[in-house]
Structure 1
């Protein structure tokens, strides 16, 4: 499976002033696989260190964390001399050895010629537990589950993707094929193990077994890694997410987590889940203006999962829904569609799409994003029903440059209303330039 983030890793390798890189992301999204693939393709050697599996190497970081000393000992451990620019050093599960994380500062300052990439499950949580973190001395990339574009690549649709990425948004001849792939993606999602299971078996129910195992592993992590005072609350929040999203108004309601629950009791819980990459949050804005962050309402937000396939399993929606036309896009109050749209928008951090808007009445626009100059509304429609009253309310009140809607209808620009098919959302940055 091709992961598009490898292109960013290649840019990191070749740039001036390169710093050690931390690859962030939830467990099981393929961080280790990606770094090893990157090393095999772009370096002569890989020195791979897993701090969780091999405790003996941890002693290297107990004394001085002078880079020269560390490289000398790592070379002995590796069995070959680590060469600047030719050897990729991978620190996996780096959160297990905080001094290894701290050593990155000294590599930046004293030995920047060594290429170091780190990965670690629950790394975001480790950073909140007193670790001496090398602020400003490292770079970050985030790996997410496979996007729909990567899912198409995995399913052999490279020519079709190239056609679209070259600016050809008229895909009427391929609509049925793209919609079928999208329906599969809603069921399978983008967790690499689930996608691989589909490629190997073409069996949705085998895929679901993998997804259930992933969800069980995540719940096991709550007890293993979370602070003891948060474990029960984390389970309550986690298990409430499907019911939170089954509402017409998907705003997160603490009372649905547990009767009588209050924000102050659960904010640390939400932060823990967010830091581990298991949930995504989007916030309401009081005013849709640039910069959007200046107008966010921290008291009003929605909570989604990291992956649309996992949300489908948690919601109890059977893979059999695949055979029933466009039903999968509409079930569950369109929550799977909104989950998918959020995942696709999050691939473009420059668009700053972690927001939604509501009027004083009942109008609600599902997403807002910005190109830095203007804020744009985007309404996510599940299927072919595209009546968008909220967009009309928004347009009347704020008169934006463009209005966006995503649905199963073909690409069309009618005045300032732009309809982007759900299966072409990965082309949104190109649409903005048309």
Structure 2
């Protein structure tokens, strides 16, 4: 059976990039196996007469193509010597340098390819964040970056056959506060729970789409996790390998606690923050985790308004987070859709993942005396908006305090994600979890005229 191609958001980006007369060489970053190479090759084969694909892991001999220098003619000449079948027709050729992390020096050539202008260039690879200072210094001003992640819920819906009409209908419910009907809530709620369990890794979703069941998906997720562990062993230096792996394994355990702040002291016996500082950043730069920083105070601006020692850590893909849970929790979750002790952690990770995929930085707030705590904050052009994630239909005490108190002048409205329907009460807008991926679009549209309405048949 031919592999199903999963439509991705990068498809439209690549098409627009090709038709930009001022396009620069493109670097596509992202964690391993999120579909970078597949999407790029599909685009290249559909859009160019000649595709020159070079993979520095599979064919390390190509690291020699710069031995005569980084100018376009020197590189083309050396590629042709190694493989005379490769064709270089100006205006009709794209060159793809894959696994860039194995040979970041090739980024020096991007300046010359841009100045030459005869060939289009795309570079991609995993773990690029680890080497990115080097890549950036070699190509500054002569490349464009695109960060690719695993599929978000919108791309998951595309894979399930839903089109733009369904997405616009969701936005309409959010903007008008007209409740979803029971069928919509059940269908989208179940799809969203499936997405929470599966995550957005293409190999996992392809198995799910083709078989129509969860069969085999956990095995694929566990293999992906093992691949990530192997990457840590391969690319991390010395003692840091063990410490990075310790952090990696501890994330679901610490998210399951009531106090979800990541505590280095719990990672290993005698662990100290100063010993682990670089390990957290390594995982972040590799794209494997998202760090959610604790604000010094809930006010604008967000950047610079936080310390470096208080944070929560989320997996970049909730399906992989789920696959790290203990076997009993796995079985209960997949067979009975019972989230158990991990319920709050699961929903918080999925909302954090969705916010990150929307392009938001992740921030939370917890007052020193623990009397006020908020899960996330996003900013609009005009204000700061607290975002609460509720696994149960509870009152949002901290959210109300932030909105109503004169101490927080940047905050006028709040958002709450729950398993319930849309609604509004006391300037708190309630939305179903499955709408999280639309938050940035929703806030952008609502920026000038958030409706002043009373409660509307949803969970307040």
Q: Greater shift after overlay, 311-320 or 273-282? A: 311-320
- SS of equivalent residue, structure 1 residue 356: strand
Gaps of 5+ in 1: none
TM-score by length of 2: 0.87
Distance in 2 between residues matched to 1:307 and 1:58, nearest whole Å: 32
Distance in 2 between residues matched to 1:406 and 1:130, nearest whole Å: 39
Look up the match of 2:452.
none
Look up the match of 2:450.
none
Distance in 2 between residues matched to 1:310 and 1:143, nearest whole Å: 17
From 396, 399, 402, the equivalent of 1:388 is: 396
Change (3 A) 1:162 1:337: closer
Change (3 A) 1:159 1:24: closer
CA deviations on 1:229-284 (whole Å, 9 max, x unpaired) are 21111111111111111111111101111122111101111111111111110101
Look up the match of 1:92.
98
Gaps of 5+ in 2: 1-5, 447-460
- SS of equivalent residue, structure 2 residue 123: strand
Distance in 2 between residues matched to 1:371 and 1:387, nearest whole Å: 24
Look up the match of 1:6.
11
1:146-225 equivalence runs, <5 A: 146-158=151-163, 161-164=166-169, 167-169=172-174, 170-172=179-181, 173-225=183-235
Look up the match of 1:423.
434
Contact 2:208 2:214 in 1 (8 A): yes
Contact 1:29 1:191 in 2 (8 A): yes
- SS of equivalent residue, structure 1 residue 369: strand
Distance in 2 between residues matched to 1:5 and 1:331, nearest whole Å: 36
Distance in 2 between residues matched to 1:322 and 1:141, nearest whole Å: 34
Q: Greater shift after overlay, 177-186 or 135-144? A: 135-144
From 409, 413, 416, the equivalent of 1:402 is: 413
From 358, 368, 376, the equivalent of 1:367 is: 376
- SS of equivalent residue, structure 1 residue 404: strand
- SS of equivalent residue, structure 2 residue 138: coil
1:1-400 equivalence runs, <5 A: 1-74=6-79, 77=83, 79-108=85-114, 110-127=115-132, 133-158=138-163, 161-164=166-169, 167-169=172-174, 170-172=179-181, 173-316=183-326, 317-322=329-334, 324=336, 327-328=338-339, 331-349=341-359, 352-362=360-370, 363-382=372-391, 384-395=392-403, 396=405, 397-399=407-409, 400=411
Change (3 A) 1:248 1:285: same
Contact 2:98 2:124 in 1 (8 A): yes
RMSD over aligned Cα, in angstroms? 2.2
CA deviations on 1:140-174 (whole Å, 9 max, x unpaired) are 11111111111111112226634436634443241
Distance in 2 between residues matched to 1:414 and 1:5, nearest whole Å: 38
Distance in 1 between residues matched to 2:248 and 2:36, nearest whole Å: 23
